[in-house]
Amino acid sequence: MNFANKRHIMFIIVGIITIILPFITTNDGAHMILLSFVTREFHFLGLVFTVQELHLMPFLIMFLFIGLFALTSLFGRVWCGWVCPQTILRYIFRDLIQTKLLSLRKNVNNKQKEPDYSKISNQIKYILSYVIFFAIACGVAVNFMLYFIPYDYFFAHILDYENHKTLIFFTALFIFIIMLLVVFLKEKFCIYACPYAKVQSVLYDKHTFTAVYDTIRGGDVYKDNKQVIFSKKEWTGKEECVACNKCVRVCPTGIDIRKGLQVECIECLECVDACDSVMGSMNKESLISWNSDSQINLKKKTNIIRAKSIAYFMVITAIIGLLTINSQNKENFQLNINRTSQLYSIKETSIQNAYIFLFHNTSNKTKEYYFKTSNPDIKINRPRKPFKIKAKSKLKEIVALEMDNTLIKNEKTLKINIIAYETNNKESEVIRKTIFILPEAK
Ligand code: SF4
Ligand code: SF4
């Protein structure tokens, strides 16, 4: 199977995952991944983190960045050529719609040749390609929004212009951005604007897998960055490159890989397939391959396990460890405890302290809560029974704790823990420290 087919399978897998991911929820209504601007929550793999619990975000961001750097250092810009939405959408717009569906472009193997727009038929096809892609851009923008707005909320309000102007504005803005990137900026975005391309040169070394031209077999087409060979006849030795330029014409970013590694290369490997078809017809191996410079041009084995990759592996393992530990510390609901302004109140047979408990049920179901104290001498006077809190709601509860006069000793302040829990899940404990104040001993 050539790289083009493998890439297209990858595009389908990435597309399906991206489309269905916002719709996958747990029984509690938690999403696989959602940074919700509606509920101000971050959902990750079925766990829900409120804004007060966003301590996981730095680890996740570090994981994504370092993971991408490690991937680039080992396998080059595979993200760009195989997974990046810009590449996938460019493929849909240029290769599928403009070339295969409308025959506006002659064939996918010549991406440099622009259609002849002086013909009316081509002008019509050109406009038609925009219209078709606009419909796709609308779908992509909606899908993108669903990573920030829960899908049920989004579909319930997207047509309510009067009350949800911001929602509609951002959806329209993303449609505009997608059209701008894919239809107008095209690969210029990958070459000039994408920050990832700029860091690529720092991440690569001679063992990094990338599209690489075999100068030993093919010959030096470039010298001092200038092309010196333009036709097969100009070779003086046994150089194999037939100077057909197929690898150049097929390149979406318009570079010549025979010049060596360039930041414009998005590693789509279309040039590998192109050269493979030329060399294959002569029963030879492709002069361009997905390999390392070390293996192809220095004839030294590629070192996958090298100092750089070990360092990345160690850092990523440490981040995953911290991420796992921190996500296990995640609490099932939230509880803030504040004392009222009154230090204590003296009752007939006891001393009472009053508190304000603020519960926040962060789940998608109504739940029943109650609590206990860590000190068996301190009893709950109010509330006497467990109480229910609706899904995604907060409840302020005035709490009175009391201590029998006969149990009071010399201490003026007792440190206690409040252990709150869901009544049908005793393991869902949330523990908060507070104090119980007593009058001065006489
Ligand atoms: S040189 Fe061009 S065709 Fe070859 S992998 Fe890079 S971007 Fe793709
Ligand atoms: S496709 Fe192969 S043979 Fe043709 S110009 Fe490129 S490297 Fe040379």
Indicate the domain borders of the chain.
Answer: 3-30+76-195, 205-297, 334-437
Q: 241 CA distance to ligand 2 centroid (A)?
A: 5
pLDDT at 286: 94
pLDDT at 398: 92
Q: Which of 270, 275, 284 to mutate to test the pocket of ligand 2 (most atoms within 8 A of CB)?
A: 275
Are the CB atoms for 76 and 209 separated by under 8 Å? yes
- Cβ-Cβ contacts under 8 Å for 144 (sequence gap 6 or more): 174
pLDDT at 270: 93
Q: What span, in angstroms and rounded, lies between the C-alpha atoms of 220 and 213?
A: 10
pLDDT at 442: 53
Are the CB atoms for 97 and 133 separated by under 8 Å? yes
Q: Which ligand is nearest to the CA of 286?
A: 2
pLDDT at 56: 73
- Going by alpha carbons, the residue nearest to atom 8 of ligand 1 is 268
Q: Which ligand is nearest to the CA of 247?
A: 2
Q: What span, in angstroms and rounded, lies between the C-alpha atoms of 260 and 268?
A: 15
pLDDT in tens, the chain (442 residues): 889 999 999 999 999 999 999 999 887 778 888 888 887 788 888 777 776 666 777 888 888 888 888 888 888 888 888 999 999 999 999 999 999 999 888 877 888 778 888 889 889 999 999 999 999 999 999 999 999 998 988 998 888 888 888 889 999 999 999 999 999 998 888 888 888 877 777 788 889 898 999 999 999 989 888 988 888 888 888 889 999 999 999 999 989 999 988 888 888 999 999 999 999 999 999 999 999 888 888 888 888 888 888 888 899 999 888 878 877 767 778 888 999 888 889 888 899 999 999 998 877 788 899 999 999 999 999 899 999 998 878 899 999 999 998 888 888 889 999 999 988 887 788 889 999 999 875 5
Q: What is the DSSP letter of 22?
A: G
Side-chain half-sphere CA neighbours of 379 within 13 A = 10
Among all chains, which residue has been given the structure tokens 């014409």?
A: 249
Q: 366 CA distance to ligand 1 centroid (A)?
A: 54
Are the CB atoms for 295 and 301 separated by under 8 Å? yes
Q: What span, in angstroms and rounded, lies between the C-alpha atoms of 80 and 45?
A: 25
- Cβ-Cβ contacts under 8 Å for 143 (sequence gap 6 or more): 18, 19, 22
Q: Which ligand is nearest to the CA of 111?
A: 1
Are the CB atoms for 242 and 205 separated by under 8 Å? no
pLDDT at 441: 58
Tell me: the pLDDT tens digits for 238-247?
Answer: 889 999 999 9
Q: Does any ligand 2 atom lie closer than 6 A to the CB of residue 275?
A: yes
Q: Which ligand is nearest to the CA of 213?
A: 2
Q: 108 CA distance to ligand 2 centroid (A)?
A: 17
Tell me: the pLDDT tens digits for 100-126?
Answer: 999 888 877 888 778 888 889 889 999
> Cα 214 vs. chain centroid, distance in angstroms?
36
Q: Does any ligand 1 atom lie closer than 6 A to the CB of residue 276?
A: no
Q: Does any ligand 1 atom lie closer than 6 A to the CB of residue 214?
A: no
What residues form DSSP beta bridges with 32? none
- Which candidate, 386, 373, 368, 387, places its Cα nearest to that of 433? 373
Q: What span, in angstroms and rounded, lies between the C-alpha atoms of 218 and 222?
A: 11
Check whether the bond before 85 is cis (ω within 30° of 0): no
- Going by alpha carbons, the residue nearest to atom 7 of ligand 1 is 265
Q: What span, in angstroms and rounded, lies between the C-alpha atoms of 128 and 132?
A: 6
Residues in the chain: 442
- Going by alpha carbons, the residue nearest to atom 4 of ligand 2 is 244
- Going by alpha carbons, the residue nearest to atom 1 of ligand 2 is 275
Q: Which of 215, 222, 242, 248 to mutate to test the pocket of ligand 2 (most atoms within 8 A of CB)?
A: 242
**Whether the model pTM is above 0.85:** no
Neighbours of 209 (CB within 10 A): 20
Q: Which of 265, 286, 293 to mutate to test the pocket of ligand 1 (most atoms within 8 A of CB)?
A: 265
Nearest atom, ligand 1, residue 254 CA: 2
Q: 127 CA distance to ligand 2 centroid (A)?
A: 35
Q: What is the DSSP letter of 302?
A: -
Q: What span, in angstroms and rounded, lies between the C-alpha atoms of 314 and 138?
A: 41
Q: What span, in angstroms and rounded, lies between the C-alpha atoms of 173 and 167?
A: 10
pLDDT at 53: 67
The answer as to CATH 3.90.1420.10 being correct for domain 334-437 is no
Q: Which ligand is nearest to the CA of 275?
A: 2
Q: 97 CA distance to ligand 2 centroid (A)?
A: 28
Indicate the helix (H) or strand (E) that contains 400.
strand 394-404
